Structure 1
């Protein structure tokens, strides 16, 4: 026994947090960092016989029923990645772009929103947009920053647009109805998407060189092609309606709706005559790899949070924050600042697992709605997807962008979109009823 408990919870907290940061600086993955620190404090604080404390936390996490929906939505995204559904959806939206300055960028944002409503996965969307939309905008002479920003910011909408994986994990961690979170996210997600659209239209109309309209011969689409384009939207619309309609209508749970969505996407691929065993095999393999990563990060974070709570850490943090001589909204702003800082170097899953078990009870004690806080959290995580130096969106896009586009170019292009996200976050903090209106 190391007798760490003798130092008290305050110094124990400093040592625990310091150990995590010290190991992260060495480049050790988050799952190993949290796991090692959790084991060190388990045996050091509680003694040699404390191993069941760790295993109980791991079992409690991996047996959570809500997690079953996650691989289903990831599989939906994997199937969409490998089918031609997303490509045809993007091509179909050309019907609406016309000769509008910035029209292709606006078209890209609407496609991104729709893809997010089908699967709720982010990385795949950014890669798809980088393959489909980025070359198209660059070919038309779009400003490089606008083209890059639209692909990354549009692809990151999946953190908010139901069925968002971020909201599912939040609901599981905060013991909040996932269906209510989905309802609450609709209006903020639309506001954010329309904010991007407004920014693009304003800039491109003030300076059409930033987003030139399509050439007249490309914009004047024959009637037959327009009809075919509209037809190609029917299957994706049906899949999205089946998933979200069954949830909002109370017909199916989140998990059941996810399974229906997978069935719907596979059926759509079969109807389009694109189905193959190889496509299914690669999609399942990608799903297993992604889920494995999420589960291991979750196990590490759940373990360390569980050990810290048993040490009395949750009570210590709660008493410290609630004991602050300041207004409740300032405490919420402090939490947002902590999440923003963590989002610059940690994965959103790790952030959720590490912070939500501590933050959510405090939010409830302050008298705020945990559903509302979930919307704030999802917007915050969308900011983290774009934020330098480790914003995943930038690295996803870099993998498919032309060689002349550097990571520096991508991060510079994302600055206006990060500012828009922060403005929407401030709006949701100032007016909670915007997100809670549909919940009732």
Structure 2
């Protein structure tokens, strides 16, 4: 009966989330409701809830999670400084002479924004507002334009320093420690956010190369769908080299400082995030876009996003304790262990479930609800935690691109002109979905694409 209650608890949480209730309240409320029902019918031991205060203090004292508000601050400040707008204009002029050049500039700027903000919704909306009208006006096929904007926007899922990877790294680390304890292994070895940042670097860059390769392919087989910028328009800009230096180098230098300090072992993700936050303020001031109203707006947005994240963490802690109290983790472990194909079969089922949940739930909900349930079981089967985290991140990125419910599609639909139909957006992302699936296939065949760099730098074989 307890195992049935654990399934009902999970199903009830998903239904309540789909209805639209706030995530933190949904998770905590559903957990407490089922704990109360179980206590009345003598199915649940309330002693499990005694761990809630320790979980909350654990969240408050987690130094890694301090990186979340700092990275959010960095991203919002760069957005207010209008970095994206200037980058798009400059990169478009740089690649303008070639067919598909404007699309390639969108890919590169999307990558830089992903490395700067790490927030998918903000990147897709920003790119949609700035580049979609320009691309359509210059003769781009709307399917190609919408597809490249959605795909580039979702790079915030995988290109470090990504908030998704920060949160996923913390959850994977906890799951890894739990798996070691369940196997009776007491080792100081753990997984860090830096491991996931390094692990995501090669797959993320390969995705960018894949996107650009598709645009080059389109420029060959269907050149009219990705025209070059007219020469007379490019000729209106004087001293392009100076403009590139002023617009491209500062944000690129900031990203290199943040990532380089983490990957080089000079700073923790939290310390590097503080460098990024201060650097974003300096960059905004350098561009004369820093003022007290803008700073207040940035701080308000940072507080809202950070409060949401930490409230979800608390709600997820209550939910996971109640789920464990009903024996849900044992149920999941037995189910995955009994699947045909061993760890391969278990991994396929988990990836499919997460892919379909990604249609309806945001990455935070999946990260804090699903990953803590399935990750310890998969890690006990011997799956590499770094590879597992990167596979999860790219899987969710693919899900957010896939019609009819992909979040990136909804973000772009909200800012796209009425002349571009929803069907056009759906058709536009299909080639990029295949590129994502190809990346998942490559990672499955060669896990070293995700694990080689962390093992080389940190030596944590």
Deviation at 1:408, TM superposition (A): 3.9
Give unpaired runs (5+ residues) of structure 2: 39-43, 174-190, 456-461
Distance 2:93 2:237 in 1: 10
Matches within 5 A, 1:253-264: 253-264=268-279
The corresponding residue for 2:288 is 273
Match of 2:415, SS? Answer: coil
2:16 matches 1:23: yes
Equivalent residue for 1:191, pick from 201, 206, 212: 206
Matched, 1:381 2:374: no
Segment of structure 1 superposing worse, 218-227 or 390-399: 218-227
- Cα distance in 1 for residues equivalent to 2:235 and 2:382: 56
Q: Is the contact between residue 386 and residue 418 of structure 1 (CA under 8 Å) also seen in structure 2? A: yes
Q: Can you list the C-alpha shifts for 1:113-142, whole angstroms capped at 9, x where unaligned?
A: 112122322222112211221111111110
Q: CA deviation at 1:324?
A: 2.7
User: TM-score with structure 2 length normalisation?
Assistant: 0.89
| SS of residue paired to 2:418 | coil
The answer (yes or no) to whether the contact 2:320–2:369 under 8 Å persists in 1 is: yes
Counterpart selection for 1:250 from 256, 265, 271 = 265
| Equivalence map 1:31-42=2 (5 Å) | 31-42=24-35
Cα distance in 2 for partners of 1:208, 1:291 equals 45
Superposed CA deviations along residues 357-399 of structure 1, whole A, max 9, x for unmatched, are 1222222222121000111011012123223444222232233
In structure 1, the partner of 2:181 is none
Aligned pairs (5 A) from 1:227-246: 227-246=242-261
Aligned residues of 1:131 and 1:400 also touching (Cα < 8 A): yes
**Displacement, 1:59?**
3.9
Comparing 146-155 with 382-391, greater Cα deviation is found at: 382-391
Q: Deviations over 1:284-334 (max 9, x none)?
A: 111122222222333322321121113322122112211334232121111
- Select the structure with the greater relative contact order (CA < 8 A; seq sep ≥ 6): 2
User: Match for 2:79 among 78, 81, 85?
Assistant: 81
Counterpart of 1:8 in structure 2 is 2
Larger deviation: 22-31 or 176-185? 22-31
Unpaired runs of 5+ in structure 1? 1-6
Once the 2 structures are TM-superposed, how far is the Cα of residue 62 of structure 1 from its aligned partner? 4.3
Q: Secondary structure, in 3 states, of the residue corresponding to 1:93?
A: helix
Q: Distance in 2 between matches of 1:222 and 1:58?
A: 55
1:71 paired residue number: 69
Which residue matches 1:435?
450
CA spacing shift, 1:27–1:113, aligned 2, 3 Å: closer
Query: Of 319, 333, 345, which aligns to 2:334?
Result: 319
Write the deviation string for residues 55-87 of structure 1: whole angstroms up to 9, x where unpaired.
Answer: 444443344322110111111111111112222
Change (3 A) 1:109 1:362: same
TM-score by length of 1: 0.93
**C-alpha contact 1:43 1:50 (8 A) present in aligned 2:** no
What secondary structure does 1:90 align onto?
A: helix
Task: Note closer, same or farther for the CA distance 1:366–1:34 as it changes in structure 2 (3 Å cut).
Answer: same
For 2:423 and 2:62, locate their aligned partners in 1 and report how far apart those are by CA, in whole Å: 40
Distance 1:329 1:51 in 2: 35
Alpha-carbon distance in structure 2 between the residues aligned to 1:115 and 1:18: 36
Tell me the SS of whatever aligns to 1:134. helix
1:247 counterpart SS class: helix
Of 224, 234, 237, which residue of structure 2 is paired with 1:219? 234
SS in 2 for 1:437: helix
Equivalent-residue separation in structure 2 for 1:233 and 1:411 (angstroms) = 32
